[in-house]
Amino acid sequence: MPEPLPETMRALVVDRLGDADELRLAAVAMPLRIADEVLVRVIAASVNPIDVKTRSGRGSSAAISSFPFIGGSDFSGVVAAVPYAQHPFPVGTPVFGMGRVPRVGGSFAEFVTVASTAVAVKPANLSHVEAAAAPVAAQTAWGMLQLAGIGAGDRVLVHAGAGGVGHFAVQFARLAGAHVIATASAANAAFLRELGAHETIDYAAQRFEDVVSDVDVVIDLIGNVHDDTGSRSLEVLREGGCLVNAPTGSWPTMQTDAAARGIRATGYNVPADGRMLAEIAALLESGAVRVHVDREFPLEDGADAQRAVEGGHVRGKVVVRAAEEPAL
């Protein structure tokens, strides 16, 4: 029989929007599971830029309906309750996935509820800490590349290639047979080549538009937040090429600017898609793709984890751990 569920849980919450100092560990009510949702006991959850933006009053903060608010989109853990007896993810199944925060409570907590269609079985070869680093970043990279329609022989430029989304985009593009070019710091050049990048550009030493041209696809994870990276990317794309931008809100004229050069351009918002995640899980389990965890923090040090992401220069992902890894 499943163990009885507690009435409260530990969670990292904010009582108002602001900087990381607003985060505190609190005892809160357990999330209510409804309809097709599963209840997951969270072992680990990663910190994404959207989590930091939302906590600070940007991002998705307008959709926060009440406080205290629990952030965190993706997670890895163990199913604790299901909507019906023959559910495909029985109680005890190790799963990973992402929720729709702030529509629902987030994963910086000991338990989270999430739609059944938003989870997949955790790759057996990954720890929960490693698995928690994958859902949002990997699905974002996968979706951006699919939207661009990359194929074998395409020249693909990935900005911020060593970051959470970037390090997956480099690997997925290489698996698709593309010629992969990535911008990053010099310290991350060897790391990116290990992941499959054919060329790396040190953004601090070179202007990428001076050394790259005739690119088919740009995966733009920066936009015009820094040094007009998005606008400059149009200079390296061939006519008819495609730029896919992860939302930054920094480049409102993107589509107009791209159209003037004969280039397709679009933003992208990642869906919570368990089927997509299952395909990615197979690649992770086979070893064809790997996930990199830069740093791990206990849940009670979640503020430090968010400060690390805010500080930038993270290789891969930052993860918070809510519980110890289950015994095998």
pLDDT at 313: 87
Q: What are the structural domains, with CATH classification, of the chain?
A: 8-134+291-321 (3.90.180.10), 137-267 (3.40.50.720)
Q: Taking the mean position of all CA atoms in its chain, how far away is CA 95? A: 16
- Say if residue 68 is preceded by a cis peptide, omega within 30 of 0: yes
pLDDT at 281: 98
Left, alpha or beta for 73 (phi > 0: left; psi -120 to 50: alpha)?
alpha
- The CA R_g of the chain, rounded to the nearest whole Å, is 20
Query: pTM here?
Result: 0.96
Residues in the chain where the model's pLDDT stays below 70: 1-2, 328
Contacts of 137 (CB under 8 A, 6+ apart): 46, 48, 74, 164, 165, 167, 168, 317
Residue 167 token pair: 């390090």
User: DSSP secondary-structure letter at 328?
Assistant: -
CA 24, CA 299: separation in Å to the nearest integer? 10
Q: Is 197 helix (H, G, I), strand (E, B) or coil?
A: coil
Contacts of 171 (CB under 8 A, 6+ apart): 195, 196, 288, 289, 290
Nearest to 147 by CA among 213, 218, 197, 98: 218
- The pLDDT tens digits of the residues spanning 186-227 come to 999 999 999 999 999 999 999 999 999 999 999 999 999 889
Contacts of 267 (CB under 8 A, 6+ apart): 244, 245, 246, 247, 254
